[in-house]
Amino acid sequence: MKISLGLFLMLAAAALVLAQKPAAPAEKLHASAIQIELTDVGDISIPAEFRYAIYERLIEQVRDSRLFGKVYRSGDKAAAGVPDLVTLHTSLEAFDEGSQMKRELAPVAMGSTKVDVTAQVTSKDGKTLLNQKVAGKVRIFGENLGATNDLAKRITKLLQASF
């Protein structure tokens, strides 16, 4: 009886180990082109230059990454003819302009500029392929607008991990 119980426990443990084997890595998405939309700011107050800097930095960073054969701007008519086009949407979640002077006087403790967005990639039929919160920051040196560059880099990394 003791032996059969021990055997049973061993078999159960082996089955558990097999069941816990690492999951296969998620399949990468594929698209020949991406269209980048302007950030939806909703009701959050943000200076216009930040909104357009996020957009322009994203276009620059995604182009430089060479993940996609073509990167289309918002409103580009040519994008409509691409069958496997994906679209990158960003929605502003929070914004703190911070202060360059404060963060240089008391680094990290105060004055950080923060831009939080939700980045979403959708297919042409409207299906959500990717949805994640991303934050861009300037903690010590640099102009406040530098947070848009940090944000664009992080979103591009997210795309690189998924495409």
**Contact residues for another protein, defined by CB under 8 A:** 38, 45, 47-49, 51-53, 55-57, 60, 72-78, 97, 99-101, 104-105, 143-145
Distance CA 151, CA 117 (A): 9
Q: What single-letter DSSP state applies at residue 79? A: G
3-state secondary structure of 129: strand
The minimum distance between CB 55 and another protein, in angstroms, equals 6
- Give the CB-side neighbour count of residue 93, counting CA atoms within 13 A: 14
3-state secondary structure of 45: coil
Cα 130 to the center of its chain, rounded Å = 8
Nearer to another protein, 99 or 123 (CB): 99
Phi first, then psi: give them for residue 60, nearest 5 degrees: -65, -50
The minimum distance between CB 35 and another protein, in angstroms, equals 9
The minimum distance between CB 28 and another protein, in angstroms, equals 27
Nearer to another protein, 2 or 77 (CB): 77
**Among positive and negative, which fits the CA dihedral 36, 123, 116, 153?**
negative
Nearer to another protein, 25 or 42 (CB): 42
The minimum distance between CB 149 and another protein, in angstroms, equals 9
Nearer to another protein, 147 or 159 (CB): 147
